[in-house]
Structures are given as structure tokens and as C-alpha cells.
Amino acid sequence: MAEKKWNVTFLVNRQKGDGPGRLEPFRLEVNPDEYVLDAVERIWAFHDRTLCFRHACHHSVCGACGMRVNGVEKLTCITHIKDVTKDGGTVKVEPLRHFPVESDLVIDMTPFYSRLEAVHFPQVVPLNEAPDPDSDSIARDRNAPSDLARLVDCIECAMCISACPVPLTNPDYQGPAILAAIQHQGIAKNPDLLPFADNKNGAWRCHSAYECSEVCPSNVDPGWRIMDLRKQVVTTRIKNLFGSK
Amino acid sequence: MTTNTNENRALIWKALSWFDVRWRAPGTWAFALNRITALGLALYLSIHLVVLSTLATGKDAYQAFLDAVNMPVIHFGSYLVVVAGIYHGLNGLRIALTSFGIAVRYQKPIFAGILLFTIIVSLYVFLQMFHII
């Protein structure tokens, strides 16, 4: 059987230095079952070798290929072309929002990593202590031995930051991934994290759009975690009010 | 000066992006609608206070003002205030609940319910207010 072929125009952000970005069209014949990242790689390989983009694992583990596809944050390595366009259609590929653009589709993630580091986000958590949105999830086994740990779900793709509407007007907002990282560790066990969560750019700045949870490819559910963090903050403040430790 | 102007334009453009809900999830629609209704209600409150201030100039002046604005377009504006008030109030309750971890997982169905309730009540108020039933 002949392979399905679609003609799709990819509008790719081109931006060098401090100059303004522009969308450059690339017309490709693609298999609709291919992924958006495949198309971006083919543009780089056969059309323009100066195109800059990030990628690594190709199976949604590294979080490097997060981009905005038709205005929505997607891991391009797991986003089928057929899910974002049609034969003869267009696909707009842009870098994540709220970050300085280094080149084309590559953003400077330094502010994001610095904030994660400031809240000493762990890469592993004890299996019996990992707070999880789903109480039935195997991710949280209360009976597990305390020396067992698991990798945290967050793959640090920063797509939640890009999807959040708050940094549009408040770049100092900590952002969903950072607040989720605080919630993950717990204020009660880590009181030094309280100042990061309990300030005007912390948990209280969230406007409940829940777009972070929608775009998260790893089921971290930052929206739920921010709301849970608020509970933690209020509980801690009430306890502090009555002088309990 | 040019830099400031460009920065201001960028900030305005970013603030307007709050309302760009294309391809976004229901939570963003709820957020954008909340902002729009909040701006509408704030505008209404400002106008309302100005109108009330005409009371200070006497009963006749106030009545004359009311007669002058007794127009269908103003009535329709009042109707929009009712619609905005219903949505904004109910969505405020949704946000208050979810803000403290209550029913966060159900924020989408709750939003759908609020939207449906707002549409039904708004339709009833429209029919009543404009004497259709």
C-alpha cells in the first residue's frame, strides 16, 4: 500500500540576535503519522542548515523539544502532524513564550533552571512521601520502604511556564513548575521554601487558568499542586500564628 | 523615549494576549471571561458612581438624567451588567473553592455548569427585561 503523503506548510520562527522574529514558510511533503519534530529536522537537513532548535531523546523524556505548535505548547517529538493540521494546511512552529530567544526555536532556559535550583528541586523523591494528585497512583506507595526513591515526574520542559498567562504581564512570577517543585517537597518539611511560595510572585499570583496542567506532558498537574501549595502555606501560617513548630 | 514607547506597546500587546483563547483549554476561557466581565463591571461601577453623584445636584437633575438615558442601548448595557455579574460571581466561587484545593479536578465541569447556568438565566432575564414574555 502506498504511503500517505500530505503537503503541509510549516511556518517556522526565524530570529537571530536581538532582532525581531519572523515566520518563514517551508513547504514539505510529509507522512501525517510523522511527528512535528521530524518535519523540523527535515527542514534543517534539507532546506536550511542555519535553523536552530533543541532536541535529544525523541520520546518525551528529556523535555528539550518543547515548542509552541499552532500557538499551543507541545513536545514536538510526540506531536503527530495529523493532530495539528490537515492535508494542504499549515503548522506554525514557535519558541516557548516568556523566555529570551537565543536563536530561531531555541530559548534561554537559564532563568527557569536558576529558579528550580533556588528551591533545590530534587530529581528523586522517597516513594512513600511523594505527594501526588492521584491518591490511587502507584507513584505514591505509603507502605514502601523509606529508602526507596523514584524519579520526579517533571522533565523540566518549561512548557507550563510558556502556557501560563500570568508571566505575560508579570515576569517575576515564579511559575507553575517551580511552585510544583516546592509543593512536591512540602513546606512543613522544608520551611525555608515558604518565602518562595508565600509572596506576591508565588502561589498567590496564580490566576487559575490551569493551562499549565493542560500542556504538561508528564502528568505533574502543576495547577493542582499550586492549589495544594496554597493549603500548605495557609496551614503553616496558622500554625506559626499559634506558635507551633 | 522610543524604547519606553516600544516597551509600553509590548506590555499592552501582552496584556491583550490574556484574551487570546484560540486552541486553549476551558480554564483559559474561564480566566479570559473572568477578566472581561471584571473590566465590564468595573466600568459599570465607575459610571454608576458618576450617575449617583447627580443626586447631589437635586432630585430634578437626577430625574432629568434618568429620562435622558432611558434608551434601548442603555437598557441593553444594564442587561450585560446582569449577565457579567452572574458569570463573574459564580466563577468567583469556583476560583475560591479550587484555590484551596477543593474540587480542583472538577474545575472544567464546574466551569461548564456555570456557563450553562449563566446562559439559561441570561436568556430568562433577557425575555423578562425586554417584555418578550
pLDDT tens string A73-93: 999 999 999 999 999 999 999
Side-chain-side CA neighbours of A152 within 13 Å: the count stands at: 21
CA distance A72 to chain B (A): 7
The terminus-to-terminus CA distance of chain B in angstroms comes to 58
Residue A160 phi/psi, 5-degree rounding, is: -65, -35
Side-chain-side CA neighbours of B29 within 13 Å: the count stands at: 14
CB A100 within 8 A of CB A108: yes
The answer to whether the CB atoms of A209 and B31 lie below 8 A apart is yes
Measured CA to CA, the distance from residue A206 to residue B101 in angstroms comes to 13
Mean pLDDT lowest among A3-17, A218-232, B4-18: B4-18
ipTM, interface predicted TM-score of the complex: 0.83
The answer to whether the CB atoms of B25 and A230 lie below 8 A apart is no
Domain spans of chain A? Answer: 6-107, 110-241
In this prediction, residue A20 has a pLDDT band, given cuts at 50, 70 and 90, of confident
Mean pLDDT of chain A: 90
Query: What is the pTM (predicted TM-score) of this model?
Result: 0.87
pLDDT at position A129, please?
63
The pLDDT of A61-75, averaged and rounded, is: 96
The pLDDT of A183-188, averaged and rounded, is: 88
Q: Which of A159, A207, A229 to mutate: most B Cβ within 10 Å? A: A207
Q: Which of A93, A206, A227 to mutate: most B Cβ within 10 Å? A: A227
pLDDT at position B101, please?
85
**Domains parsed from chain B with CATH numbers:** 21-129 (1.20.1300.10)
pLDDT at position B27, please?
95
Among the partner residues B22, B24, B99, nearest to A227 by beta-carbon distance: B99
Q: Which residues pair with A92 in a beta bridge?
A: A11
Measured CA to CA, the distance from residue B112 to residue B87 in angstroms comes to 11
Measured CA to CA, the distance from residue A65 to residue B32 in angstroms comes to 28
Q: Is B131 exposed, middle or buried (0-12, 13-18, 19+ CB in 10 A)?
A: exposed
Among the partner residues B17, B23, B31, nearest to A208 by beta-carbon distance: B31
CB A43 within 8 A of CB A63: no
The pLDDT of A197-205, averaged and rounded, is: 95
CATH tag for A110-241 (out of 3.20.10.10, 1.10.1060.10, 1.10.150.650, 1.10.40.50): 1.10.1060.10
Nearest partner of B42 among B88, B98, B4, judged by Cα = B88
- Is 60 exceeded by the pLDDT of residue A176? yes
The terminus-to-terminus CA distance of chain A in angstroms comes to 70
pLDDT tens string A106-141: 999 999 999 999 998 877 777 666 555 555 444 555
CA distance A230 to chain B (A): 6
* A to B CB pairs, distance under 8 Å: 61
Q: Low-confidence residues of chain B, pLDDT below 50?
A: none
pLDDT at position A138, please?
45
pLDDT at position A132, please?
58
**Collapsed DSSP state (helix, strand, coil) of residue A3:** coil
CB A234 within 8 A of CB A187: no
Distances from the Cα of A34 to the Cα of A38, A39, A61, A94, angstroms: 6, 8, 18, 19
CATH number 3.10.20.30 is the correct assignment for the domain at A6-107:
yes
Measured CA to CA, the distance from residue A155 to residue B12 in angstroms comes to 32
